[in-house]
């Protein structure tokens, strides 16, 4: 029996090490590594339990089989689970990043109600800088650009439009938008060649005498539909699996991971060329243990890791550990506070931080 436990222990330890490798492999070339970040927390928990198990036996030395891999992957665990309990006093500049899912546009019976709740939430937060993904606005019924500017007092904006449809009486636009109470002195859209619905924009804003570049991005989505989520719920409820449904989900993950790998490289190229202080935020559609996170977070401060606690879930579906929305600050800035607002008006939760320009 002891040999069986040791064998299982070795397998689980190796699996934990392999999941961390996903940070270093571009999914464009090997897409299965993109999936590993989703199961990293599972193998962390399993190996912690195995360490505890061996410590309560006479064979305590076998606890090292799991303890050493846990020690090696601890930096990745810190990304996934933050341990902070105190935050600084809120002051200076507040930034909000939020995937608003088109303000619930397609829920025809309740979209106006949901839109109002989102608007009220943002008004309560009173951000100085607002970065929204899956943003929608038109010139007839949902004049979201104009309405938000008026409600929040944000004078400046840049709307990176991924799709524009001209109707008979209005123009409808989708994309990502950055709004600011500070002047925007430069702006550009990084248009992904492999996607029509995803994009990254940057805006150079002038805060006092300092130019700060804000990257606001929405990387490739998996595009799960209603039936996909229903099937995932069935699996979680220990019901039967369906091979065709499983293959369909894996195909979507593969397609998104490959596209996201290409998009990340385009964004990082721009980031590396930027000489200004930076803020990077948005919906990455990827986990903290991923190639996406590894590349974009380089030399930046993940505010959740610095000030958050727990997994910091930002996506309300699938599993309760999914943090796929991020806010990275330039190391020269001082992060003062961070929070996730768990309101299910969208399938994402808004993330909020306050910061000072210099430490």
Q: What is the pLDDT along the chain (359 residues), one digit of tens a residue?
A: 677 778 878 888 898 888 888 888 888 888 777 777 888 888 888 999 989 988 888 788 888 888 998 998 888 888 888 877 666 665 689 999 999 999 988 876 678 899 999 999 999 999 999 999 999 999 888 999 999 999 999 999 999 999 999 877 889 999 999 999 999 999 999 988 888 789 999 999 999 889 999 999 999 987 665 555 555 555 555 556 656 666 777 777 888 888 999 999 999 999 999 999 999 999 999 999 999 999 999 999 999 999 998 889 999 887 778 899 999 999 999 999 999 999 989 999 999 999 998 75
Domain membership of residue 86 (yes or no) is no
Q: Are residues 63 and 175 in the same domain?
A: no
Q: Are residues 116 and 152 in the same domain?
A: yes
This model's pTM is above 0.85: yes
Structural domain span for residue 43: 2-80
Q: Are residues 161 and 289 in the same domain?
A: yes
| Contact residues for 228 (Cβ-Cβ < 8 A; gap 6+) | 245, 248, 249, 252
Q: Are residues 352 and 245 in the same domain?
A: yes
Phi-psi region of 37 (alpha: psi -120 to 50; beta: other; left: phi over 0): alpha
Tell me how many domains the chain contains: 2
Domain membership of residue 117 (yes or no) is yes
Domain membership of residue 87 (yes or no) is no
Alpha-helical segments (H) within 224-348 = 226-236, 243-273, 291-296, 303-307
Count how many Cα atoms sit within 13 Å of the Cα of residue 249 in the half-sphere of its side chain: 17
Q: Are residues 106 and 62 in the same domain?
A: no
333-337 LR contacts (CB < 8 Å, sep 24+): 333/277, 333/279, 333/301, 333/357, 333/358, 333/359, 334/358, 334/359, 335/88, 335/301, 335/303, 335/306, 335/307, 336/87, 336/88, 336/89, 336/90, 336/91, 336/92, 337/87, 337/88, 337/89, 337/90, 337/307
The residues that bridge with 338 in the sheet, in sequence order, are: 353
Domain membership of residue 175 (yes or no) is yes
Domain membership of residue 36 (yes or no) is yes
Among 28, 59, 80, residue at a domain's last position = 80
């Amino acid at each position: 029996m002891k040999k069986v436990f040791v064998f299982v222990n070795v397998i689980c330890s190796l699996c934990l090490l392999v999941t961390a490798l996903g940070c270093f492999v571009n999914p464009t070339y090997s897409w299965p590594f993109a999936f590993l970040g989703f199961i990293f927390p599972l193998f962390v928990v399993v190996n912690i339990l195995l360490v505890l198990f061996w410590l309560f036996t006479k064979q305590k030395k076998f606890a090292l089989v799991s303890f050493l891999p846990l020690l090696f992957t601890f930096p990745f665990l810190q990304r996934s689970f933050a341990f902070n309990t105190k935050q600084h006093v809120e002051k200076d500049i507040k930034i909000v990043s939020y995937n608003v899912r088109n303000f619930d546009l397609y829920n025809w019976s309740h979209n106006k109600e949901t839109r109002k709740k989102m608007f009220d939430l943002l008004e309560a937060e009173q951000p100085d800088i607002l970065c929204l993904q899956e943003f929608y606005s038109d010139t007839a019924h949902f004049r979201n650009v104009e309405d938000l500017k008026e409600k929040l007092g944000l004078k400046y904006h840049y709307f990176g439009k991924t799709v524009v449809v001209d109707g008979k009486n209005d123009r409808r636009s989708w994309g990502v938008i950055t709004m600011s109470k500070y002047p925007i002195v430069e702006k550009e859209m990084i248009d992904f060649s492999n996607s029509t619905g995803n994009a990254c924009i940057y805006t150079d804003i002038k805060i006092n005498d300092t130019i700060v570049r804000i990257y606001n991005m929405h990387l490739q989505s998996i595009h799960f539909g209603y039936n996909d989520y229903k099937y995932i719920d069935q699996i979680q409820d220990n019901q039967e699996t369906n091979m065709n449904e499983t293959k369909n989900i894996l195909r979507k993950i593969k397609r998104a991971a490959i596209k996201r790998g290409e998009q990340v490289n385009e964004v990082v190229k721009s980031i590396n060329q930027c000489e200004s202080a930076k803020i990077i935020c948005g919906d990455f559609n990827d986990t903290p243990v991923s190639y996406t996170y590894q590349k974009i977070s380089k030399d930046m401060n993940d505010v959740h890791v610095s000030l958050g606690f727990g997994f910091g879930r930002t996506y309300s579906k699938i599993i309760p550990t999914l943090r796929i929305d991020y806010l990275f600050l330039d190391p020269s800035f001082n992060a003062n506070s961070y929070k996730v607002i768990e309101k299910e008006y969208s399938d994402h939760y808004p993330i909020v931080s306050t910061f000072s320009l210099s430490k």
